[in-house]
Structure 1
Amino acid sequence: MWRRLAQILGLLVSILGWGLVASTLAMDHWRVAQLGGEGGSSVVTAAWYWSNLWKDCYEDSTTVVNCVDFGVLWAVKSYIQAVRGLLMIGLGLGLVGTVLTFFGMECTYIGGGQRTNDKMLITASALHLVGCVSDMVGYCLYINRVAAAILHGKADPSKLRYDIGTPLYLGLVGSFLILLGCTLQCATACRVTHPKRREYSTCSRNPMVPFIRDKGASRGNNSLYGQCSQSKRANGANNFSPYKMAIGNTVIV
């Protein structure tokens, strides 16, 4: 029962994370720069420059927005193209991983046997993990460029100093949720695929004690008891200390 609940929780958390990541692609204000409107400034009006992965925009205090869409693909800056590609790759892998998770869950009764479902869950967890890493690399690349612009803005006051916007924070939170969901799924699959086996030292005990077999083992494993008993007796014979008994004039060794 706990395994089904963990799988359902992992799927829901992963879907929530991918939803946050997908929503950041359409959100504005990836980076924001403000001009004027500060305390003690002689400029009364305020203006905001903000950008996302698709356009640059200017907004004044009257809430009039003027945007310039990015041109053809080869005219966009290289780091923006890289961020787009990384996010798209992550979303594609996440979609495939979500489908495999749905087919490999124990409560859906769609996949094959238990071992097949566990393999599908492990594969889905790997796809979620790779997609999550791809998304995080894309967000970190964009944040790095924004931070570099901030440092250059301090050296050159004439340049705009952009700040990190809300979509980047949401994307990082979504990546963390994806990582948490795939960890839950992989934990449930690995626990069944590689169960914790109890090891019993039969040879160190009395050879007359029956051999304890794991649940589901075949009857052929009973031969291990015979081998263990024989090795026990053989070792006992080798380590046997002779005692001499004298009965009359005969010495028995």
Structure 2
Amino acid sequence: MWRRLAQILAVLLCILGWGFVGCTLAMDHWRVAQLGGQGGSSVVVTASYWSNLWKDCYEDSTALVNCIDLGVLWSVKSYIQAVRGLLMIGLCLGLIGTVLAFFGMECTNIGGAQRSKDRMLITASAFHLVGCLSDMAGYCLYINRVAVAFLHAKADASKMSYEIGPPLYLGLVGGFLIFLGATVQCASVCSVSHPKSRHPMVLFICERGEERDIPRGRKHICGPSKTSKVSRSIFPYQMVSVVTV
């Protein structure tokens, strides 16, 4: 029962994280820069710049937004294109992993035998982990570029200083949820495929055809056969067999 609950929880975590990552592709304010200063006792912001993976925008104090669409392939910056590719690869791998997880869950009637379903779950966990690494690599690359621009702006006042926006935090949370779900999913399979080790039993043939199971690595003493009373009287001092495996 606990195995089914763990698998359901793992799939829900992966789907939730996958949804967070997908939402960040369409969200604005990946990086934000505000222009203005303090006037009296309140902060007066005259304008703000923000960007995402698809456009750069300028918003003035009257909430009027003017945007410039970024290029699709060659006219866009290389790191923007790399982030797009990494996130899309992560989403595709996560989708494949989710489908395999549905086929491999114990509570579903599809997927074949239990061994085949366990293999599907392991494969789904691998797809989720690789997709999570791809997503995290894309977010870290973008954060690195924003941090570099921020440090350059601190050194040169003529350059604009950008800050990290909410989509990046949401994407990092989504990546963590995918990693957690894939780990729980893999653990639910490994705990059954590799149970706690016990002393294996080996077949031990005693004298006079007696068969007994003994733990490996222990000593076993076989006495004389109980089927014949004559043998007890004839061999009262029969040596016992001591076997160590």
Q: Same fold (TM over 0.5)?
A: yes
1:39 Cα offset (Å)? 4.5
- Aligned-pair distance for 1:197? 2.5
Assess, with a 3 A threshold, how the Cα gap between structure 1 residues 135 and 233 changes in structure 2: closer, same or farther. same
State the Cα distance separating 1:71 from its structure 2 match: 2.4
**Per the alignment, do residues 161 and 5 of structure 1 end up closer, same or farther by CA in structure 2, a change over 3 Å counting?**
same
Q: Given the alignment, which residue of 205, 221, 224 partners 2:219?
A: 205
Are positions 1:184 and 2:184 aligned together?
A: yes
Q: Deviations over 1:50-69 (max 9, x none)?
A: 00000000001111100000
Partner of 2:158, secondary structure, is: coil
Shift of 1:137: 0.5
- Partners of 1:131 and 1:19 lie apart in 2 by 13
Q: Which residue of 1 aligns with 2:63?
A: 63
Give the drift of 1:120: 0.3
After TM superposition, give the deviation of residue 207 of structure 1 in Å: 3.6
- Counterpart CA distance in 2 for 1:208 and 1:48 is 89
Distance 1:8 1:88 in 2: 25
Aligned to 1:136: 136
2:110 matched to which residue of 1?
110
Residue in structure 1 matched with residue 204 of structure 2 by the alignment: none
Q: Counterparts of 2:44 and 2:121 in 1: how far apart (Å)? A: 58
**For the Cα contact (< 8 Å) 2:34–2:49, is it kept in 1?**
yes
**Aligned equivalents of 1:10, 1:19: Cα separation in 2:** 14
Alignment of 1:1-253 (within 5 A): 1-39=1-39, 46-199=46-199, 201-208=215-222, 233=242
Task: Give how far 1:171 is off.
Answer: 0.2
TM-score under structure 1 normalisation? 0.79
Partners of 1:70 and 1:174 lie apart in 2 by: 25
Letter in 2 for 1:206: H
CA shift in 2, pair 1:105/1:44, >3 Å = closer
Deviations 1:11-37 (A, max 9, x none): 001100000000000000000000014
The one-letter amino acid of 2:64's match is V
Q: Percent identity?
A: 72
Higher strand share: 2
- For residues 70 and 143 of structure 2, the distance between their equivalents in structure 1, rounded to whole angstroms, comes to 20
Return 5+ residue gaps in structure 2 as ranges. Answer: 201-214, 224-240
Task: Output the CA distance in 1 between the equivalents of 2:45 and 2:146.
Answer: 25
C-alpha change, 1:66 and 1:107, in structure 2 (3 Å) is same
Instruction: Name 1:251's counterpart in structure 2.
Output: none
Q: How far did 1:115 drift? A: 0.7
1:169 & 1:45 partners in 2: Cα distance?
24
User: 1 CA distance for matches of 2:103 and 2:75?
Assistant: 42
CA deviation after TM superposition for structure 1 residue 72, in Å: 3.9
